[in-house]
Structure 1
Amino acid sequence: MSHLSATETPHPAHAALDLYDTPSLLAALVDDQQRAVAAVQAAAPQLARAVDAAAQRLAQGGRLIYAGAGTSGRLAVLDAVELNPTFSWPPDQAPALLAGGPGAMFLAVEGAEDDGAQGAEDLHRLGPTPNDVVFAIAASGTTPFALGVLSAGRALGTLTIGMANNAGSPLVTEAEIGIVLDTGPEVISGSTRLKAGTSQKIALNSFSSAVMVRLHKVYGNLMVDLRATNVKLVHRAVRLTAQAAGCAPAQAEAALRDSGYRVKLAVLMVRLGLGADAARARLEAVHGDLRAALGEG
């Protein structure tokens, strides 16, 4: 019999889980999630390496290509989708390869995760270049689809990052940068949508947010590259501009209107007394770095 991985091993403390009363059941499930944070903290050095290496590639025009299956793949899709409204990162610069295709986001596609050749084919279809970053995720670290994407990425010279919840798994060892989120056994044996998934969500959020900070999408701790695509975000853009520019909301709103609701441009216009075109040229000259455009960097 093969050795069980940590994520598949029954939790020794909860063998009678189905007999717990409801408060105890919820306590067991919630309390166990604390290990997710600890696992990400332990992986911080590897995550830092991944952030710096990825930011360098993306600054040269590369794409952040996510890949995964099941819960891991869905979390990867979620991270990719959120980069556009939060940081104005173009959707075509963050494609996500999900085993079974886009429909698998809502309905499991049986056997899709076992097709490594399909993973490689899906990546090849994107036409990867050495500036691209392939970030493959699987709780087990052995999912063929994710491994197929990772292997194809390495062969094509992309930066490969593999993240798994089991140490020594192929996804970690075969990637250029391997990240282990050691969350151990699940309260419900093998259900990696629990703390393994939570750790992946934390790690993905932290990784992509840090990359976007490195790519000058944040000024101080303000998200100055958001896309104001609805009323809530327009109000947020006004607040961010007023705070970063040190001006009244009415002045911030006027500058935003003139800049096409680009917070960075509006801040430059207010702080330096520039028109929209001059602000745009100044920002482009420093590759979108608002601090440098303001003469602070």
Structure 2
Amino acid sequence: MDQPTVGILHPGSMGAAVAASAAINATEVLWCETGRSTASMERAARFGLTPVATMADLLDRSDIVISLCPPAAAEDLAHDVAAHRFAGVYVEANAINPERMQRIARLLEPDATVVDGGVVGSPPVRGKTPTLYLSGPADATVRIEALFAGTAVEAAVLGAEVGKASALKLAYASFQKTSRVLVALAVGMAHAHGVDQELLEVASRRTDSYLSEPQYVAKTAARAWRWGPELEEAADALAAAGLPPEMLRAAATTLSRWNDAKDNSELTLTDALDRLTHP
């Protein structure tokens, strides 16, 4: 199979690392630098991505486009791509609910072939190996599997139905991310009453419990700006399935207290708890 040219929209921490994995089996990986931050430019350069000046240039040259951006921007980005009548394979890999995924597919078809994607795991750097779950037309998912063959990203096809990959991603995220929020609340309550060490002793007896990893609360705070919208998407998916969404909406509201801690790698557990108490 010929090596395709790939476009990435837009190279955040996950998108840039996934794009770098794709570059192993691609002619080149393009990204549009216009309007992007200095951090994005530095990140794209570090991962060896090829800058282009305009979205039109990226779409004209790309056989495959991968969209990895904050969930709220997914549809606006898809509208931009649809306006250019992109005719390649469009991998919608954002953490969005299945109904939005299907809406995006209808928007881009029949010009583009749309593949539903969901990344489960950490960015593929420093030995991490996330899985990119795929669902959609068989010929297109085979191309995406080939794109990531032998890379740090494992591609796994769930079937032909668009929405399956998004559903799996949000089902996992709803557990994993909400569990981290519950840890923050439990540790915060214990800390307020001076029994946080005793709580950790209780938790240490259950080594499979997130509660035994309170140091992750600071990481949760730094990622809250991304995790909150994901949980809102998951809540919408629950509501669409006739299931109660309130728990995930509450978790998203809790995460919003940390929005100003965006990507703050210097945050400590104490800092995170203080911000949770006094947003």
TM-score relative to the length of structure 1: 0.24
> Max radius of gyration: which structure?
1
Which has more strand, going by share of residues?
Answer: 2
Between the two structures, name the one with larger relative contact order (CA 8 Å, sep ≥ 6).
1
- The alignment's TM-score, normalised by the length of structure 2, stands at 0.25
